Amino acid sequence: MTTILLARHGETDWNRDLRVQGHSDTPLNEAGRAQARELARSLAGEPIHAIYASDLARARETAEIVAAARKLEVLSERGLRERSFGSWEGLTRQEIDDRFGARSTHDGESDEAVRVRVLAAVHRIVAAHPAQVVLVVSHGGALNSIWHHASGDRIERWPNCAVYRLAFRDGNFTPID
């Protein structure tokens, strides 16, 4: 059995301002760095063998803060990126409504495209780490794709630096929490 610890990145200014981030490469803010340090402390007792992160700065920096205390390298995985929201990125909900209309849908990636991309990345990760514990630092939408696949449920708002645990056994993901 491989155990996967799914963690969302720390806060960014765009999170705080409720701006759509998607593939936009926004950095952590000071609150996000503090959240990442707390994540590192909360995982101190976990036997983590590898740490993977989305290639976007906010996830990578969160993972690097956790990895530093363990002297582990952060492995970058582009497949763990957040959904592309296309022309919505950088905008607040009000700005989206004003610009595109209240019932508009984004012109970025579909749910299915995100699910396929993210699950392929996680399958590569578990194949590389059989019977180990792996931390995956990613984004709310990407993590929700994995969680929904495993549990059938969605997490309404994935908190910054929250951790959810999955087991991968016999080709299936199962929630541990």
pLDDT of 62 over the 90 cut: yes
77, 82, 89, 109: the catalytic one is: 82
Question: How large is the greatest C-alpha to C-alpha distance in the chain, in angstroms?
Answer: 50
With 0.75 as the threshold, say if the pTM is over it: yes
105 inside domain: no
9, 61, 77, 109: the catalytic one is: 9
Q: Is 109 a catalytic residue?
A: no
The mean pLDDT of the chain is 95
pLDDT of 102 over the 90 cut: no
Q: How confident is the model at residue 104 (pLDDT cuts 50, 70, 90)?
A: confident
Q: Which domain holds residue 131?
A: 2-83+110-175
CATH of the domain at 144: 3.40.50.1240
89 inside domain: no
The pLDDT tens digits of the residues spanning 117-135 come to: 999 999 999 999 999 999 9
The pLDDT tens digits of the residues spanning 36-53 come to: 999 999 999 999 999 999
Question: Which parts of 20-151 are beta strand (E)?
Answer: 50-53, 74-76, 133-138
Q: Is 82 a catalytic residue?
A: yes
